[in-house]
Amino acid sequence: MEMRERNSKAYVFSMNPNDTLDRQSLKLFKEMVYSANKDIPKANRKPQRVEIRGRSPKMLSPGENQYSRGGNVKGGIYNASRWDIYLYDR
Q: How far apart are CA 77 and CA 90, in angstroms?
A: 21
Does some domain include residue 22? yes
Does some domain include residue 28? yes
pLDDT in tens, the chain (90 residues): 656 666 788 998 899 999 999 999 999 999 999 998 887 776 678 899 999 988 888 777 676 777 777 777 887 888 888 898 999 988
Does some domain include residue 52? yes
Domain that holds residue 33: 11-89
Query: What pTM did the predictor assign?
Result: 0.79
Does some domain include residue 6? no
Query: Measuring CA to CA, how many Å separate 64 from each of 39, 57, 74, 80?
Result: 45, 12, 10, 16
C-alpha closest to that of 8 among 71, 65, 68: 71
> Considering its fold, how many domains does the chain have in total?
1
